[in-house]
Amino acid sequence: MQYFRNIGLSLILALASCTVAEDPKERPNIILILADDMGYSDLGYFGSEIATPNLDTLAAGGVLFNQFYNAGRCCPTRASLMTGLYSHQAGVGDMIKDLGHPSYQGYLNQNCRTIAELLSDQGYQTMMVGKWHLGDNPDHWPQKRGFEKFYGIPQGGGVYYYPWPKKDRNVVLNDHILEVDSGYYVTHGFNEYAVRFVEQAKDDKRPFFLYLPHIAPHFPLQAPQEAIEKYRGRFSENFEEFRKKRHAEIKRKGILSKSWKMSPADSLVKNWENLSDEEMDDMDLRMSIYAAQMEIMDQGIGDLIESLKRTEQLDNTIIFFLSDNGATAENMSHRYPELTGSIGNYNSYETYGRSWANVSNTPFRYYKSFLYEGGISTPLIAYAPSMFGQERMNDAITHVVDLVPTMLDLAGAEYTSDAGVNPLSGMSFASQLTGGNSKNVGSERTLFWEHEGDRAVRKGAWKLVSIYPENKWRLYNLKEDRTELVDKSSQNPELVTELETIYQDWANEHGVLDWAEVPVIKERLEKRRKK
């Protein structure tokens, strides 16, 4: 490890164009941590009220990418994260249901290779702990896509307490469904097995890759009572005041430009002053549970870091942390009416609501599944102080498709594929981690999104976005207006046409369908018209 500390990252990058090093331990371990439905400003480092000291340490001591994008929702982001492809190319253009088209089949296809498959070929141990959400069928579970070890929830969604009354989710170790004790809390289970796998990896001669996709802080609101009580009373204030405090800290730290105004709350966000005392207490309780879920995740990440220190692996490990999408405005309070327990316990299924999601996504507009910045922006933290340069804030325009090529570069590995496997869509930003110029990744690069009829393209500073079913293109200059307050489409019709053409070319090439023309969706719409 002292050798690794001395040579720095430059030799690792040089290895990318060569054969794998004879001694695999000369290559770094890689840990990829994914939060679920975490808003842009939910970390304490961003001014949040939530205690996340371990992630704050990673943010303060690592490289923070402040123009990093996800794919807008859980399954598409996970597909791109695993493959380095836009999700439609990998077969997961939407969620895990088969919508009757290869781009929307709901599980990873054979035209892609996962980062686990790629790194396994290059001599890495591959381990996963957490929520998969890339195919319910056992034939599509992690161990069929390159992971040697797996502990977690292969299905989508998820709850925190097991066994769950609905019994449609399972905790799995490798290919075996586990019987867990009553009161089992999934984040504690994930934290425990992440540490266990890392400590076991020490005895293997190979470097390791650990993928740790948490359920937290995704709904439902469920957490131990003592963790909830720590926060009770802290969220008894106007929603807008929390947004102002967070925005001030984001600007103070230089995470986002001071010239960008905070987006206004949308019309469906509740006015705190109009709430009754009972409603205010309910709002405080919901955010207290959400905060508890975040803090427990953070505590486990702290335990993981301590295990790396204890086993003398930290200096040889690169840690990435991001969220799969922005905070969610979904209202699931009545999804399972038969679950009648009080909010926060195992027999309840509640969300924290649009008003708190608006706080979580400070300073951006909208939420998870929308392609405004509030849905697709996530902070990316890359932590490895003994290997990375001293530049801590990076404004390179980067995307979740970039993580696979970046991790391959860092591992000194090449992208290998068989006939019929798509070439990578992303670009490596490994050079950014040594303090390189953001133009190396591409300040003028072009990125694309599509999710359930929402469409977007960003080229350099300009972003064109359309929300389904309105289907009206809006144009924003993100260099001047990252919070998307001023639509400039009417002043720039030629640019709108240019970007729309670029988008359509990408959509045609990547198997993207007009949402209303997806076979299952088209059938539903036709049934509605007949009624």
128 - beta bridge partners?
150, 211
More confident position, 70 or 1: 70
Place of tokens 């036709």: 526
pLDDT at site 390: 75
Place of tokens 């679950």: 339
pLDDT in tens, 467-512: 999 999 999 999 999 999 999 999 999 999 999 999 999 999 999 9
pLDDT band at 440 (very low <50, low <70, confident <90, very high): low
pLDDT band at 13 (very low <50, low <70, confident <90, very high): very low
Question: Among 9-18, 84-93, 247-256, 292-301, which stretch is predicted with the lowest mean pLDDT?
Answer: 9-18
pLDDT at site 396: 92
pLDDT at site 2: 30
Q: Tell me the two tokens of residue 366.
A: 């909208």
More confident position, 254 or 26: 254
Does residue 337 have a pLDDT over 90?
no
Nearest to 127 by CA among 189, 198, 33, 191: 198
pLDDT at site 436: 56
Indicate if the alpha-carbon torsion angle 69, 75, 78, 80 is positive or negative. Answer: negative
pLDDT at site 155: 82
Does residue 289 have a pLDDT over 90?
yes
- The mean pLDDT of 1-21, rounded to a whole number, is 36
The yes-or-no answer on residue 133 being catalytic is yes
pLDDT at site 435: 65
Which amino acid is present at 25?
K
pLDDT at site 441: 64
Q: List, in sequence order, every beta strand (DSSP E) within 300-379.
A: 317-323
pLDDT at site 523: 86
pLDDT at site 442: 60
Question: Among 34-48, 159-173, 352-366, which stretch is predicted with the lowest mean pLDDT?
Answer: 159-173
Strands 68-69 vs 208-213: parallel, antiparallel or unpaired: unpaired
pLDDT band at 166 (very low <50, low <70, confident <90, very high): confident
Q: Which of 74, 88, 101, 399 is catalytic?
A: 74
Mean pLDDT of the chain: 91
Q: List, in sequence order, every beta strand (DSSP E) within 324-407.
A: 380-383, 393-394, 398-399
pLDDT at site 24: 53
- The mean pLDDT of 366-373, rounded to a whole number, is 97
Domains of the chain by residue range:
2-435
pLDDT at site 481: 98
Q: Tell me the two tokens of residue 515.
A: 């949402």
Q: Tell me the two tokens of residue 140.
A: 């599509």
Q: Which of 75, 88, 101, 133 is catalytic?
A: 133
pLDDT at site 428: 95
Does residue 61 have a pLDDT over 60?
yes
pLDDT at site 200: 96
Model confidence, pTM: 0.94
Cβ-contact 362, 247 below 8 angstroms: yes
- Other CB atoms closer than 10 Å to residue 173's CB: what's the count? 12
Cβ-contact 93, 76 below 8 angstroms: yes
Burial of 249 (0-12, 13-18, 19+ CB in 10 A): middle
Q: Does domain 2-435 have CATH number 3.40.50.10800?
A: no
pLDDT at site 16: 38
Indicate if the alpha-carbon torsion angle 61, 63, 68, 74 is positive or negative. Answer: negative
